[in-house]
Homo-oligomer: A and B are copies of this chain.
Amino acid sequence: MSIRRIAITTGGGDAPGLNAVIRAVVLSALNRGWECLGIRDGYNGLLQPEEYAAGGLVHLDRESVRGITHLGGTILGTTNRGNPLHYPVKDEAGNVQEVDRSDELVAAVKAQGIDAVVSVGGDGSMAIAHALVQKGLRIVGVPKTIDNDLNGTVITFGFDTAVSFATECLDRLHSTAQAHRRVMVVEVMGRYAGWIALNAGVSGTADAILIPEIPYDIHKVVKKIRERERLGLYFSIVVVAEGAHPAGGQRMVVSKQAGQAERLGGIGYRVAAELQELTSRETRAVVLGHLLRGGTPTTFDRLIALRFGAAAVRALDEGCGGCMVALDPPTVRYVPLEEATKRMKSVPLDCDTILTARDLGISFGD
C-alpha cells in the first residue's frame, strides 16, 4: 500500500533527542511527497481531540521543525499521556478506571486517513505499538530510553546525554569531596539496569559503583574507602543506580536511620547513611535523577536520533509495517517490535566495561 500521510507520536518519558527524531521523520516524509501529522500528548490527541482548541493533530511542515534538532523535550507536548490500552477514565463515583481504547484509536487513525504511524518511545510504547499492529495499524517504532535497558538495539538516543551529564556532575563533586574530605554518594537513574551508573562511574573515576545486576555488601564499599585512606586519599565517590540493592535482601540495613533515609530519599540516601555510620567520615548524598532526563542532546544523541527518524521513514517506504529501528553499529537495522519488549537489557557481568572497572580498581561492593 503506498503511503500518502503518516503520523508521529512521542511517548514514555522525556529524553534528549525526541525533537531531532521528529525533524528527521518530517523532512524524510515531506521529501517523499508524504504528508506528516503530529499527534499531541502521546496518543491523546487522537483519543480526546476535543481537549485541544486547535485539534489533537498538528500539521508538521518544514517550518514547524526548523531549528529544533538540539532542543530538549518534544514539540508534541507531554509524553506520558494517552495510553490507549490503559486509558484512565473517571466513573460516576469519581474513581479512575483504566479502559482499553485501542479499537477507538485504530478507528481514529483510519478516519484521519493516516496510512502509517512512527511511534517514538520506550518498552511501554513498543508494547502498545505491537498491540496496535495486531489490530491492523502499520507502525514503525523508534526506541527511546535514558537507561539503555531497551532490548534489540545496542544503544539509543538519550543515554549518551545522561551519561555525559552524570560524568560532569562527578567531575564537579570530585574537587569538593577532596577539599572537604568527604564521601559523596551519587544516585543516578537505572531502576532495572546499571548502564548509566557503570558508564558514568568509570568515566568519572568513581571509587565504587553499585548496580542492580550486582547486589552489594556495604562492608565491601567501606573496605574500599579504608584502602584509599591508607593511600592518603581522604575522600571517595560512590555511584549508585536507583535500582541497586544489598545482597541478602533489603532488610539487611545497617541501622534504623539508614532505613528511614531510604524510605524518604531513596537508595542513595540509605547508602550515604550507612557509610557515614560505618566510616565516621562526613558523607553526602546527591540525587541526579530528574537532571539526567532532559535538556539538549549531545552531538552523539542528535545524530542517532536523526538517523533513527530517517530510518523509520525509510522502513515504511520499504514496506515495513511492524518493526523497530535499532542501532547495530555502524549501521541501523530493523528488528521485530517484540524484540524490544520481550526482556530488559541488563549489564552482562562479563562485559568489557565491567572488566575495565575492575582493572581500574573500582569496587562493585561484591
Which residues of chain B come closer than 8 Å to A172, judged between CB atoms?
A: 72, 165, 291, 293-295
> How many protomers of this protein does the assembly include?
4
Whether B303 and A199, one on each chain, are in contact in the complex, defined by CB atoms closer than 8 angstroms, is yes
Given contacts A290-B286, A306-B202, A352-B331, contact A298 B173 (CB under 8 A): no
Whether B264 and A203, one on each chain, are in contact in the complex, defined by CB atoms closer than 8 angstroms, is no
Nearest B-chain residue to A80, judged by Cβ: B180
When each residue 273-302 of chain A gets 1 if its CB lies under 8 Å from chain B and 0 otherwise, what string results?
Answer: 000000000001011011101111011101
Least CB distance, A53 to chain B, in whole angstroms: 8
Given contacts A70-B171, A73-B174, A165-B172, contact A154 B203 (CB under 8 A): no
**Interface residue A69 (Cβ < 8 Å from any Cβ of B):** yes
Which residues of chain B come closer than 8 Å to A179, judged between CB atoms?
A: 13-14, 73-74, 77-80, 294
13 CB < 8 A contacts A-B: A14-B180, A28-B359, A28-B360, A67-B71, A71-B175, A78-B181, A171-B296, A175-B294, A203-B299, A286-B289, A287-B287, A307-B352, A311-B356
Give 16 new A-B contacts, CB below 8 A, not counting A78-B178, A264-B264: A16-B175, A62-B231, A73-B174, A74-B179, A78-B180, A160-B300, A164-B299, A167-B302, A175-B294, A203-B306, A261-B264, A286-B290, A306-B356, A310-B356, A311-B355, A313-B359
* Residues of A bordering B, CB below 8 Å: 13-14, 16, 24, 27-28, 31, 62, 67, 69-74, 77-80, 154-155, 160, 163-165, 167-169, 171-181, 184, 199-200, 202-203, 205, 231, 234, 261, 264-265, 284, 286-287, 289-291, 293-296, 298-300, 302-303, 306-307, 310-311, 313-314, 329-332, 351-353, 355-356, 359-361
